[in-house]
Amino acid sequence: MKINEANLDQMAVSPSQYPRDGLKEVALVGRSNVGKSSFLNKIAGRKNLAYTSSKPGKTRTINFYSFNKTFRLVDLPGYGFAQVSKSMRKDWAKMINSYLESRDNLLEILLLVDLRVKPSDQDKEMLSWILDNGFSGIVIGTKADKLSKNQLQQQLVRVHKELGCPEEQDILPFSTERKDLVEESKNFLQDLFAFHGVKI
């Protein structure tokens, strides 16, 4: 898959601000700091298309990015970020839920989890919600570069079990630091969109 063009089409906090065209979307969800915006940048082949930060809570709106004018990745704020007030957390949850529940363009939701960390209750709840709502339950395991080869294999199995992933759906390892894994994720996305009739 070759990305010639990637654009931030829209930043939204409510459905009236979502793009109105029919481009199909895949959304990125997961804990704050897990690497959603970094994943998106690697797919785009651009360093700073989506803003990233070593501090959690960087992405605060729903950000719609189109690629080659043929498909979108949607970057969502992360959950589990303690440094915001309860009422703000509630607003974010509402914002994320209304997107996930109501967006017709949405084909699949990718749940990103840090392979070094035990999945949180919110990760488990998110995966259950994803599966209950007819999505496949695709999980991307991030920061694979921080693990040895053996640790990586162990964690892929362990996190799969702890999260309650579907038996037939392996976790896809990812790292911003590994070209081979970036390429695998690009191929994965290409196949996923192709499955839904979007040729990229």
- Which residues are at the interface with ligand GTP (CB under 6 A)? 32-38, 52-54, 56-59, 77-78, 142-143, 145-146, 175-177
Cα 15 from chain centroid (whole Å):
19
Sign (positive or negative) of CA dihedral 143, 149, 153, 155: negative
At 142 the three-state DSSP class reads strand
Closest approach, Cβ 199 to ligand GTP, in A, equals 28
From candidates 6, 24, 31, 37, binder to Mg ion by CB under 5 A = 37
CA torsion 26-12-65-108 (nearest 10°) is 0
Give Cα 33 to chain centroid, integer Å: 12
Those residues with Cβ within 8 angstroms of residue 34's Cβ, 6 or more apart along the chain or in another chain:
78, 112, 113, 114, 142
If DSSP codes are grouped into helix, strand and coil, which group holds residue 197? coil
φ, ψ at 4 (rounded to 5°): -95, -25
Residue at shortest CB range from ligand GTP? 78
* Residue pointed to by tokens 């949405």: 106
Please say which residue, 70 or 178, places its beta carbon nearer to ligand GTP: 178
Kindly write out the interface string for residues 58-77 of this chain, putting x where it contacts Mg ion by CB under 5 A and - elsewhere: xx------------------
Q: Nearest approach, Cβ of 52 to Mg ion (angstroms)?
A: 6
Q: How far is CA 158 from the centre of its chain?
A: 20
Going residue by residue from 100 to 139, which x/- string records binding to Mg ion, judged by CB under 5 A? Answer: ----------------------------------------
If binding is defined by CB under 5 A, does position 41 make contact with Mg ion? no
Residue 155 touches which of ligand GTP, Mg ion, none (CB < 5 to 8 A by kind)?
none
Residue 173 beta carbon to ligand GTP: minimum distance, rounded to whole angstroms: 10
Q: List residues near Mg ion by CB under 5 A.
A: 36-37, 58-59
